[in-house]
Chains A and B, each alone.
Chain A
Amino acid sequence: MPVMLWTDALIFLLLAVVIGYFYYVSRRAHMLATWMRVTESPSGMAALVVLGAFALVGLLDSLHYRPTLDQGDAQGRPVYSVEVLSVLDALAAPLRQRQERTYSAPFDTRAYARETVEVPGEQGAPGTQRREFPRLQYGGAHLGNEAGRERDIVVSGLQGFALAALLWWGLAGVLAAGMARGTSSGAGEVLQRIWRGETRTPWRAVLIALGVLCAIAGPVLAWCTKYHVLGTDKVGQDVLFLALKSVRTGLVIGTLTTLVLMPLAVVAGVTAGYFRGWVDDVVQYVYTTLNSIPGVLLIAASVLLMQVYIDTHPELFPTAVQRADLRLLFLCIILGLTSWTGLARLLRGEVLKLREFEYVQAAQAFGVGHSRILSRHILPNVMHVVLISLVLDFSGLVLAEAVLSYVGVGVDPSMTSFGTMINAARLEMGREPMVWWSLAAAFVFMFVLVLAANLFADAVRDAFDPRVRVAGK
């Protein structure tokens, strides 16, 4: 039975908006030309490939359903489990279900901590107890003898790598063949041109990024059914799986927040700049007031109050997943409400400049109404500011989530996110030997996501910001 959580609905709405926007852009030459400049940036395109991979994981994790239980009820109707799963959960079932008892290091076949094990006595003699590192239930369980572990890891890694390399070659071949169609040159020739970086769109960067992704994903896929590639956490969950689940949380916070923030900032900023007078005074007053409250405190205060509300109204939230989801949505809304001021101020300044331009004055002189001037003449000319700041905000929001979860005002503790992973792992810092893998996994995933977002944001800004364009040429 499909389940549509609030954030799922909004994510797909956002996806539809993005697709609609690009359809709109593709039919307008001047906007298309600007976007084409984005596609000419090698780092931007490579980042886009990585972001695409993250987005794919996030979207798979946003298709939720409740699985059917085996037995139907008395009338033979199917009965649904109370557990809400996502498509990612189903795809990664081997990761999700193979739960150990506690910590274990990456690729390890034995648990992190010693346990007392009963050793049965020989031929009826009383058994003895021994402290040892017990074998893991799943990690490396296929190995008869643990001595063969290194060899097995190398062999299956190479197998995965070979498959991934084949896939990558296939993709490169399809790309080259597609580009060669309709031209006089053959696919091989096109491949050479791509490799020398002579194509207008930097396909070389795209292929390299794809290649790196494949080279990592291939072996990991080969390993992950046999070992815990990134180890397990305190309750024995696979850390790789947790990291994949965290991607959605990060993406939701990075994107839905901007969805909340954008309309507010655009309406406030544009009207303040255009009408000036008392509208301007009110808008300025509101954003100075909001700005003057320290951001984390305002978020903390709002989240604490939301917490009180959730605790006192348990009847509104039937399942734990729904409660966590609504809390995530509230967090996005709160982040949006506290951070729209920066964009609003930028827009106000831009509109103050624009409204003095001749074409706006001419429109006013012709008696064009305010709403028409705003929608036809002002808005299209400030959209680049909106776009740049939205893309730039994304990475900051992903990083902020981790900090907020640490403070205790982030996502629901039951929801997997980079912040909750770091928070849980931080408490084990003092252990000897150190439990480093959860921390490392969360930080590396977050780093790659944020780095890709930053590089892509730079490409977008370089293409859209008129000042950068003048300085660059």
Chain B
Amino acid sequence: MLAYIIRRVFYAIPILIGVNLLTFALFFVVNTPEDIARMQLGVKRVTPEAIDKWKAERGYDKPLLLNQRMDGLRAVTETIFFEKSARLFVFDFGNADDGRSIGHEIATRMWPSLALALPVFLVGLLVNVTIALLMAFFRATYLDFWGVVLCVAMMSISGLFYIIGGQYLISKLWNLVPISGYAGGLDGFKFLALPVAVGVIGGVGSGARWYRTFFLEEMGKDYVRTARAKGLTENMVMFRHVLKNAMIPILTGVVVVIPTLFMGSLISESFFGIPGLGSYTIDAIQSQDFAIVRAMVFMGSVLYIAGLLLTDISYTLVDPRIRLE
């Protein structure tokens, strides 16, 4: 098991190198720092001196891959690739365009993100599984039929609608919670209640419908028939056997997103004014701060790969038949 995990961690390295090279190519080769400087400075103020100054301030004035003016090891290290891309591997994200340290921002903004994303994830999972189980329990009745219809209708509604509608109804019309904002600790509850509810409701349609198929698939298996033939009550069959077995694909399927919860949600964080990583990323995209976008891309892939590893491990934990070698 340990050997397997170590090997998987090593497998992650080429993937991260690939991500790194890809972002490097996107940000520095397809569009040179010169282009970016030109755009950032705007049309009016573009002079060669202004561009050079902009590049020097941000350390973009070095050669891309090989610095021929330096010798020895410094020919490699005094380059954009080494300073901007390779340093990501040790989680040294450098500074944003406004001069603040990205690493520090990530460390502080991670917690509000998590405070929103974790409840959405846990409550959402619970709600989805419950509704899916109910629909499977009442399969082939009107309840199941209209449940599925409702699910399809709910997943056809844009996520933006849930947010805007929720803000209008709950905050503006009924004045139950503030429209947006954030506070740490217990005060955060009144700010987070609506975003969490919206996040859960927005995911119910596709989630419950998806999990329902897992339950139905499990209920078609032979052991369920055997259990019924032995005279077990339907409740026993559903909760003791079907639920347990159907949770295997459900749990292993959701494990992959657990690490990426840190990244937060772009849309709802920015709508609800939560100072997390999601709104940080959106602000960076809108102000075209490429250093932040690069850092977030790298963070995202590291967390995703961690999620893949967790998925593999979770298989062995919930299903003893699987051995990792």
A residues neighboring B (CB under 8 Å): 285-286, 288-294, 296-298, 300-302, 304-305, 307-309, 311-312, 395, 399, 402-403, 406-409, 418, 422, 426, 429, 434, 439, 443, 446-447, 450-451, 454-455, 458, 471
Contacts and interface: CB of A to CB of B under 8 A. Distances in A.
Contact of B293 (A300, A312, A451): A300
Interface in B281-304: 281-282, 285-286, 288, 290, 293-294, 296-297, 300-301, 304
Contacts of B305: 292
B19 interface: yes
A308 B31 contact: yes
Contacts of A439: 164
A301 B297 contact: yes
Interface in B154-197: 155-161, 164, 167-168, 172
Contacts of B23: 293, 301
Interface of B is mostly: helix
Contacts of A305: 26-27, 30-31
B254 interface: no
Interface residues of B, number: 49
A307 B31 CA distance: 10
The 7 tightest CB contacts between A and B, nearest first, are A294-B300, A289-B18, A451-B156, A292-B301, A450-B156, A292-B304, A308-B31
A309 B15 contact: no
B143 interface: no
Contacts of A311: 38-39
Contacts of B304: 291-294
A402 B162 CA distance: 13
Given A305-B26, A312-B35, A292 B282 contact: no
Contacts of A302: 26
B161 A443 contact: yes
B317 interface: no
10 contacts: A292-B15, A292-B308, A293-B22, A304-B290, A305-B26, A309-B30, A311-B39, A395-B156, A406-B160, A471-B217
Contact of A454 (B155, B266, B297): B155
Given A305-B26, A305-B30, A309-B35, A293 B158 contact: no
A443 B157 contact: yes
Identify which of A292, A296, A300, A443 gathers the most chain B CB atoms within 10 Å of its CB: A292
B224 interface: no
Nearest to A455: B152
A293 B266 contact: no
B38 A312 contact: yes
B153 interface: yes
A309 B300 contact: no
Identify which of A289, A311, A422, A471 gathers the most chain B CB atoms within 10 Å of its CB: A289
Interface of B: 14-15, 18-19, 22-23, 26-27, 30-31, 35-36, 38-39, 152-153, 155-161, 164, 167-168, 172, 216-217, 220, 260, 263, 266-267, 281-282, 285-286, 288, 290, 293-294, 296-297, 300-301, 304-305, 308
Contacts of A285: 14-15, 18
Identify which of B14, B290, B301, B304 gathers the most chain A CB atoms within 10 Å of its CB: B301
A294 B297 contact: yes
Contacts of B31: 305, 308-309, 312
B263 A402 contact: no
B143 to A, nearest CB: 18
A403 B158 CA distance: 8
A322 B310 CA distance: 47
A294 B161 contact: no
Contacts of A446: 158
A439 B167 CA distance: 14
A451 B266 CA distance: 24
Contact of A308 (B22, B35, B153, B296): B35
Nearest to A468: B213
Contacts of A407: 266-267, 282, 285-286
Contact of B300 (A293, A406, A422): A293
B159 A403 contact: yes
Identify which of A293, A409, A426, A443 gathers the most chain B CB atoms within 10 Å of its CB: A293
A422 B288 contact: no
Nearest to A440: B161
A447 B158 contact: yes
B23 to A, nearest CB: 7
A301 B266 contact: no
